């Protein structure tokens, strides 16, 4: 090593050692790295591989305890191995049968575990299902069924029988798209479908083991009934989302307005909501106890208030469905309140690390979800920002606002800063998962967040408290006024020109740079943290490298998309596979679909047997009938066939037929100088437990 490099290494080591108190913050990063490595593998490793790696790293750390560099390396490997092992064990633990082929219409019976209210009906998750004609050994542990039309009064815990059509959970709509099958696998859902006609209640239980789900459903039903009786079901749907976390009752146009205006985070119960509930309860209980002098003078009423706040925050988290943002917020707030009990001070960034580590060990699959990424990105960036501001205040002196006008300005400035920081931290993840960015989110949040924090959520606390006495209307009415205002804000801002910027799908490696750079910037304190700025810059620049497919074919060959000379996708039909169509357009940053050209003058020429598509000097035949197969195989560079080819086509460089689509799912094709680049859903995912294995004979 040259003297120059040696000096630089010594400087970096000195900086690293100077931030010893921040090392613990990297534990969830290491665990998350192990989880990410596990899910990126194209095959399923031996069940004990991660545990053996963890044991080996632990032994190495003991042996190298006197050599700091090797000790730190061994501990880092332990963290990665811990995440890898946790993901392996979780995958094995939740393993359950998945419906192998379509069923029904036929009789399906099961006990309701969860009910979701939707604008057009109900969606129920059934546990311990009995599917007529399907053996117990291959029957899924849970199925999800959509109920349309008028239904009897259902509550969690009821046994019901429906006539339904079921299929296995749908695969991703394109290579690299959201994996519904993986999410269903970890939720224990082995089949999805829809019912014909009303459900029949076959048995009612005491519901003791479904108390939380029943409470959630009961609260939502009471709130909806109240607002429907006042001809305001839209407000009722938003109130239900804020109180129970169930957003199914919100009409799609209202949800779109919340997303496009940048305030959809208000509907996801997270740190804001849990913190407000806990804060209102803590200060309210403490204030009430302080009114009784004998209690206030003789007993630790602050600790009593903290206990009540922990209980209420936990109850709210459970009623809200215990989602990832909810659990993260509860864990953090619970530790802060527990610190009051033991007369210690909570350390904010360490709370984030604690919450992230617990969630990753309990639910490793959550790392891949938008909820986990958005939630922790926002809270980590906010805490890092306010840590920096706090340090600057100690250096320059604390300035306090005097009088109401300065305090209002300071509060709005805090909301603006919070919005800017949170938007900047979550923008790359929104681009990766949702392919959109709300340009006017700052304006919408400046109006909606104060109303939510200072008006809506206090009335939500009051509504919860009054419900046991049947007096919730006293709180729901003013709460509805605030919700009406927030809905109006979202609708108005979403209607502004250019409210949303569409973004193509970001490469995985680009997101990796964003994550590592952002963590480096937020978790360290010394000046070397500024090197982390390069990560998000490189990550966002990766969008410039994105090349959308020239050809897309869905798994059932019912929908085909081609890219024209203008770079826009044209779709073969606007009537089939609506979800797949919307997903393809969103990933291509395209607001609407172009009509499939049928004038025969452009790059696409069609007849009743199929189409010929020419682009970049390549000709692709889209074959829909055996009669066209022989001719198209002679003139085309590639053949995409909805009928089996089975060796009948030897001329083209690329052949994708019905069986390829059945085995490997949707395909994406890029035209390149030396041929074609092809990706398929199942080849990208690999041989993993949540990827169905097509059986001979098909379905």
- Of 165, 184, 205, which marks where a domain is finished? 205
For 249, phi then psi, to 5°, come to: -85, -5
The span from the CA of 596 to the CA of 411, in Å, is 52
The span from the CA of 275 to the CA of 326, in Å, is 10
Same domain, 189 and 290: no
The b-or-e profile of 60-95 (16+ CB within 10 A means b, else e) is: bbeebeeeeeebeebbbbbbbbbbbbbbbbbbeebe
Positive or negative: CA dihedral 643, 647, 651, 656? positive
Would 385 be classed as within a structural domain? no
Same domain, 676 and 535: no
Q: Return the SS3 of 136.
A: helix
DSSP 514-567: HHHHHHHHHH--SGGGGGGGHHHHHHHHGGGG----SEEE-TTSS-EEEE-TTS
- Of 39, 68, 93, which marks where a domain is finished? 93
The total of structural domains in the chain comes to 5
The span from the CA of 661 to the CA of 656, in Å, is 7
The span from the CA of 314 to the CA of 326, in Å, is 10
Cα 584–Cα 586–Cα 588 angle in degrees, nearest 5: 70
> Residue 112 forms beta bridges with which residues?
126
Supply the DSSP symbol for 455. Answer: I
Same domain, 258 and 315: yes
Q: Which long-range contacts (CB under 8 A, 24 or more apart) does 602-609 make?
A: 602/564, 603/562, 603/564, 603/565, 604/562, 604/570
The span from the CA of 458 to the CA of 603, in Å, is 61
Angstrom CA distances, 544 to 52, 433, 536, 539, stand at 41, 17, 14, 10
Same domain, 584 and 629: yes
The span from the CA of 241 to the CA of 227, in Å, is 13
Q: Return the SS3 of 678.
A: strand
Helices (H) and strands (E) in the chain, counts: 24, 18
Same domain, 157 and 258: no
Q: What is the mean pLDDT of each run of 10 residues along the chain (699 residues)?
A: 63 78 92 96 92 89 79 90 96 92 90 85 91 89 92 90 94 92 94 93 74 85 92 92 88 91 83 79 89 86 90 87 77 82 73 89 92 87 87 63 67 76 86 88 86 88 90 94 95 93 91 95 90 93 90 87 84 80 90 70 74 82 82 85 80 84 91 87 93 63
**Roughly how many angstroms between the first and final C-alpha of the chain, as a whole number?**
63
Supply the DSSP symbol for 138. Answer: G
Query: Which of 19, 20, 30, 24 lies closest to 516, judged by CA?
Result: 30
Angstrom CA distances, 600 to 329, 472, 570, 603, stand at 58, 65, 14, 8
- Of 93, 124, 153, which marks where a domain is finished? 93
665's torsion region: left (phi>0), alpha (psi -120 to 50) or beta? left
Supply the DSSP symbol for 504. Answer: P
Burial of 503 (0-12, 13-18, 19+ CB in 10 A): buried
Q: Report whether 254 contacts 237 (CB < 8 A).
A: yes
Q: Report whether 142 contacts 123 (CB < 8 A).
A: no
Same domain, 77 and 49: yes
Same domain, 467 and 320: yes
* Structural domain boundaries, residue 308: 235-370+450-501
The span from the CA of 272 to the CA of 313, in Å, is 12
Would 410 be classed as within a structural domain? no
Same domain, 585 and 487: no
Q: What pLDDT sits at residue 692?
A: 85
Same domain, 132 and 23: no
Angstrom CA distances, 227 to 120, 215, 217, 459, 481, stand at 17, 19, 16, 15, 11
Q: Cβ contacts of residue 510 below 8 Å, gap of 6+?
A: 428, 432, 538, 539, 540, 541, 542, 543, 545
Q: Report whether 555 contacts 171 (CB < 8 A).
A: yes
Q: Report whether 514 contacts 539 (CB < 8 A).
A: yes
For 93, phi then psi, to 5°, come to: -70, -40
Same domain, 523 and 568: no
Q: What pLDDT sits at residue 347?
A: 59
Would 272 be classed as within a structural domain? yes
Element (H, E) at 640: strand 638-641
Same domain, 354 and 463: yes
Would 53 be classed as within a structural domain? yes
Would 213 be classed as within a structural domain? no
* Residue indicated by tokens 């090797």: 70
The span from the CA of 166 to the CA of 555, in Å, is 18
Would 445 be classed as within a structural domain? no
Would 423 be classed as within a structural domain? no
Q: Report whether 347 contacts 290 (CB < 8 A).
A: no
Positive or negative: CA dihedral 621, 622, 628, 630? positive
Same domain, 240 and 338: yes
The span from the CA of 172 to the CA of 679, in Å, is 13
> Residue 110 forms beta bridges with which residues?
160
Can you read off the two tokens belonging to residue 152? 């009897």
Q: Cβ contacts of residue 326 below 8 Å, gap of 6+?
A: 245, 269, 270, 274, 317, 320
> Residue 143 forms beta bridges with which residues?
126, 191
Q: Other CB atoms closer than 10 Å to residue 525's CB: what's the count? A: 16
The span from the CA of 453 to the CA of 271, in Å, is 12
Would 695 be classed as within a structural domain? no
């Amino acid at each position: 090593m040259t003297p120059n490099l040696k000096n630089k290494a010594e400087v970096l080591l000195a900086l690293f050692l100077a931030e010893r108190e921040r090392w613990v913050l990297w534990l969830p990063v290491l665990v998350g790295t192990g989880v990410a490595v596990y899910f990126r593998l194209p095959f399923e490793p031996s069940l004990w591989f991660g545990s053996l790696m963890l044991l080996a790293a632990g032994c190495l750390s003991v042996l190298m305890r006197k050599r700091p560099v090797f000790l730190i390396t061994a501990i880092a490997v332990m963290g990665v191995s811990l995440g890898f092992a946790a993901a392996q064990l979780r995958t094995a633990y939740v393993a359950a049968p998945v419906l192998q082929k379509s069923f029904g219409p036929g009789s399906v019976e099961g006990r309701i575990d969860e009910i979701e209210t939707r604008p057009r009906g109900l969606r129920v998750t059934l546990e311990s299902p009995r599917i007529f004609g399907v053996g117990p050994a291959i029957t899924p542990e849970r199925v999800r069924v959509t109920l349309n039309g008028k239904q009897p009064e259902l509550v969690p815990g009821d046994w019901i029988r429906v006539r339904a059509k079921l299929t296995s959970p749908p695969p991703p709509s394109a290579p690299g798209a959201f994996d519904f099958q993986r999410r269903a696998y970890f939720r224990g859902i082995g089949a999805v479908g829809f019912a014909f006609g009303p459900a029949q209640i076959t048995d009612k239980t005491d519901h003791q083991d479904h108390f939380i789900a029943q409470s959630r459903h009961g609260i939502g039903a009471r709130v909806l009934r109240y607002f429907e009786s006042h001809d305001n079901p839209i407000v009722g749907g938003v109130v239900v989302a804020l109180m129970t976390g169930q957003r199914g009752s919100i009409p799609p146009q209202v949800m779109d307005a919340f997303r496009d205006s940048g305030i959809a985070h208000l509907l996801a119960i997270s740190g804001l909501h849990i913190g407000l509930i806990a804060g209102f309860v803590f200060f309210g209980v403490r204030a009430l106890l302080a009114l009784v002098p004998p209690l206030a003078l003789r007993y630790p009423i602050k600790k009593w208030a903290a206990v009540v706040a922990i209980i209420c925050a936990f109850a709210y988290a459970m009623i809200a469905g215990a989602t990832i943002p909810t659990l993260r917020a509860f864990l953090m707030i619970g530790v802060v309140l527990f610190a009051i009990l033991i007369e210690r001070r909570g350390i904010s960034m360490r709370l984030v690390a604690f919450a992230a580590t617990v969630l990753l060990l309990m639910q490793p699959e959550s790392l891949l979800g938008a909820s986990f990424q958005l939630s922790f990105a926002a809270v980590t960036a906010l805490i890092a920002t306010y840590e920096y501001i706090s340090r600057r205040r100690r250096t320059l002196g604390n300035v306090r606002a005097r009088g109401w006008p300065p305090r209002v300005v300071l509060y709005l400035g805090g909301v603006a800063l919070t919005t800017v920081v949170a938007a900047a931290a979550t923008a790359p993840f929104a681009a990766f998962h949702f392919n959109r960015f709300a340009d006017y989110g700052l304006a919408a949040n400046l109006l909606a967040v104060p109303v939510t924090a200072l008006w809506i959520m206090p009335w939500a606390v009051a509504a919860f408290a009054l419900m046991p006495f049947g007096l919730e209307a006293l709180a729901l009415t003013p709460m509805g006024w605030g919700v009406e205002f927030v809905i109006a804000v979202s609708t108005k801002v979403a209607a502004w020109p250019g409210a949303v910027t569409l973004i193509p799908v970001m490469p995985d490696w680009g997101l990796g740079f964003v994550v590592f750079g952002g963590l480096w910037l937020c978790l360290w304190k010394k000046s070397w943290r500024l090197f982390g700025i390069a990560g998000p810059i490189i990550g966002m620049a990766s969008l410039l490298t994105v090349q959308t497919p020239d050809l897309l074919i869905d798994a059932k060959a019912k929908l085909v998309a081609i890219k024209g000379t203008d770079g826009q996708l044209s779709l073969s039909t606007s009537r089939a596979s609506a979800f797949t169509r919307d997903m393809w357009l969103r990933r291509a940053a395209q607001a609407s679909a172009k009509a499939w050209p049928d004038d025969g003058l452009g790059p696409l020429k069609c007849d009743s047997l199929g189409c010929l598509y020419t682009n970049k000097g390549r000709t692709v035949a889209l074959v829909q009938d055996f009669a066209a197969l022989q001719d198209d195989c002679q003139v085309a560079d590639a053949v995409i066939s909805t009928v089996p080819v089975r060796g009948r086509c030897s001329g083209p460089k690329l052949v994708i037929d019905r069986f390829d689509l059945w085995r490997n799912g949707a395909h994406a094709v890029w035209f390149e100088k030396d041929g074609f680049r092809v990706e398929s859903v199942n080849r990208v995912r690999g041989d993993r437990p949540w990827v169905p294995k097509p059986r001979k004979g098909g379905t």
